Amino acid sequence: MKIAIANDVAMAAEALRRVVASTQEHQVLWIARTGLEAVRMCEGNRPDLILMDLNMPEMDGVEATRLIMEQSPCAILVVTGRPQDNVNQVFRALGAGALDVTATPVLQGQVGGDSELLAKIKTIGKLIRHSAEAPSPRLVQANGERSDGQVTTLVAIGASTGGPSAVAKVLSGWTAPPGCAIVVVQHIDETFASHFAKWLDDQLDMPVRVIAEGDELVAGSVLVAKTNDHLLLDQNYRLGYDAAPRDYVYRPSVDVFFHCVAQHWRGDAIGVLLTGMGRDGGDGLLAMRRAGKTTIAQDQASSAVYGMPRAAAELDAAQQILPLDRIGASLRNRLGAKINNGGESSPNI
């Protein structure tokens, strides 16, 4: 891949250049010292991938990501010092269209920074080239007895690029009705899954928490997948994780969870597929539709990246294709959900 670097710290930019140059597969296309310079350089010489810092002069990485995705869209990986200390900026960047986040190797202060960065670059390369075909999901069932709770309706939401802000937008300003549980599968590294759940909890009027192995569905709550393994729902309505298929580039996979819902969930269910690069979720959404569940996909105009919803549209997997600002209203109309504060609120992003 042709990789660009946007970082105003000379030591950090050089560390990133050396990581890219250490492989035979990639080359550094250019280095920008500010977010504004990155936007301008991307217009004239668009790379396959940008390693984007968050804190830069003239224009920060969040605004640069937003403008690049509007004007010269390409894959963006946020690479910044101590991302765990900049959670709000990280999720604003992910909402603007960045694919993932990792720490700058020279600032990481631990062994393995280079290999972690290269692993993320390799994964993004697979997404860009569409070289990793998804095998049929293997549904490994978790142990446990069936829940005797009162969950009667399941809302399953899948998202990737641009997903954090899209999920917040869909779920903001209302509370799920009695008997309704919401599960979110967002493509995000497990290092940041708990941060994502905490950030989402700050945006919503419903409680949000990550899913532990063996958890049951919880009515009135938003449950978030928390590992790089695939989230499963078994015939006893227990949630769990499985690493297989190991070579599947999308982790956790929306397809795997949607297939579980289609196969095992006997109550009402709504599948929602939001913005994202690649094709994950389309096959699973089709399985849910064939199982008699309600299916919704985000439209092209409102998607940060129209990859996953496009796959669903091409498969005729979505009964409704809606702009982002109408998906939440559609859910409320179907569920009879309570609107809080007199209407739909805007997430703090």
Query: Measuring CA to CA, which residue among 324, 291, 298, 293 is closest to residue 312?
Result: 298
Q: Could you tell me if 266 and 288 are in contact, meaning their C-beta atoms sit under 8 angstroms apart? A: no
Catalytic residue among 280, 283, 302, 303: 280
DSSP class of residue 83 equals G
280 among known catalytic residues: yes
Catalytic residue among 53, 60, 160, 229: 160
Query: Measuring CA to CA, which residue among 239, 232, 287, 226 is closest to residue 262?
Result: 287
Q: What angle do CA 151, 156, 157 make, to 5 degrees?
A: 145
Q: For residue 273, give both structure tokens.
A: 């597929």
187 among known catalytic residues: yes
For the stretch 163-194, what's the b/e string if a residue is b when 16 or more beta carbons lie within 10 angstroms of its beta carbon?
bbbbbbbbbbbbbbeebbbbbbbbbbbeebbe
Residue 170 amino acid letter = V
d(CA 6, CA 236): 48
d(CA 184, CA 168): 11
Q: Could you tell me if 294 and 271 are in contact, meaning their C-beta atoms sit under 8 angstroms apart? A: yes
160 among known catalytic residues: yes
The DSSP bridge partners found for residue 153 are 180, 268
Instruction: State the residue for tokens 């994964």.
Output: 123
Q: Could you tell me if 332 and 174 are in contact, meaning their C-beta atoms sit under 8 angstroms apart? A: yes
Residue by residue, what is the 3-state secondary structure of 228-271?
CCEEEECCCCEEEEECCCCCCCCCCCHHHHHHHHHHHCCCEEEE
Catalytic residue among 187, 234, 253, 302: 187
The catalytic residue positions are 160, 187, 280
